[in-house]
Chain A
């Protein structure tokens, strides 16, 4: 009887250790999304602007910018994030005149440049909507470590799971920080002010 309970206890200890290891690993993996020092995030962006003309991130040389990936059939994360960014433009006024926000679709099949143009017109500030071929979008998403995936819905359509982080890039086009989804407005202001000061 005692032997059995000792065995049971050691099994529980092993099980607990395994659970802790798995949780620790998951925690590490999930937090790795936030970039580590020395691992470059970002890179050249070659996509199509809302007016149908090619967009090259080289045009932003010397100016800070923010990058956010989303899609126009997005009910929640995209409109709230873009509204926050647009409020930052309102509040910073002239201070923010150098800042460009790139809103890149992860659903280029539905989000043509024309759709993106209409969509970004809902928000004030200098927000550029970008689309492209699925391959072009995939390349930029990879540079920014952005995950996205189609999820079919019962009506035969689909929605997208996607990384909902705003990447803040400095004047050299290098990664400075992120704004995580749902951060409050004060944090938006603070981080963007820091970006503009750099």
Chain B
């Protein structure tokens, strides 16, 4: 039993270590921002999109008001919805609510940050800087990991 426990502790530590190597995360007060990533730009297009998971460990709601990056002229928080076979974009002009104790995930085919007027290229495996502004928690500097365009991966770990 003791051996089992020790093995378990070692295993968990190793796994957490591996996780941390590729899933980066940030903390700001009660908020945790997990693995921000962006899709690479395509030739002929100057838009890209960004994703992340936001966890609110606190007991009061907060709101993601805006995202700013230097690599694009504008960043907007969008929701994407399918209405039958029609893809619709909705800009969340009032920001994105992060309820108390909740996890909100920006992911493909759903909510995302849309980068408009990307200057230069977003190249896979690079990290690009950004800043999140929350209504209560304030500002948080983050880095987006760039994944290939068309990549549809969403985070599978918790």
Q: Which residues of A contact B (CB under 8 A)?
A: 29-31, 33-34, 72-77, 79-80, 82-83, 115-122, 147, 151, 153-155, 157, 159-165, 178, 180-182
Chain B residue contacts of A165, Cβ below 8 A: 85
The CA of A159 and the CA of B47, in the complex, are separated in Å by 11
Q: Is the interface of B mostly helix, strand, loop or mixed?
A: strand
B85 x A77 contact (CB < 8 A):
no
9 sampled A-B residue pairs with Cβ under 8 A: A72-B45, A73-B46, A74-B47, A75-B112, A77-B87, A79-B150, A80-B152, A162-B86, A164-B86
| Binary per-residue interface labels of chain B (122-137) against chain A in the complex, 1 for a CB within 8 Å, 0 otherwise | 0000000000000000
Q: Tell me the B63-84 residues at the A interface (CB within 8 Å).
A: 73-74, 76, 78, 80, 82-84
* Set B74, B78, B84: member contacting A33, Cβ < 8 A: B84
A83 x B85 contact (CB < 8 A):
no
Q: Tell me the B32-49 residues at the A interface (CB within 8 Å).
A: 39, 42-49
9 shortest interchain CB distances as A-B pairs? A118-B44, A83-B150, A119-B44, A30-B84, A155-B74, A75-B49, A164-B87, A161-B88, A122-B42
Sample of 4 further A-B pairs with CB below 8 A, known A76-B49, A165-B85: A74-B45, A147-B86, A153-B76, A155-B76
Number of A-B contacts (CB under 8 A): 103
B43 x A181 contact (CB < 8 A):
no
| Nearest CB in chain A: distance from B100 CB, A | 28
* Set B47, B108, B116: member contacting A80, Cβ < 8 A: B108
Q: Which residues of B contact A (CB under 8 A)?
A: 39, 42-49, 73-74, 76, 78, 80, 82-89, 91, 93, 108-109, 112, 114, 116-117, 149-150, 152
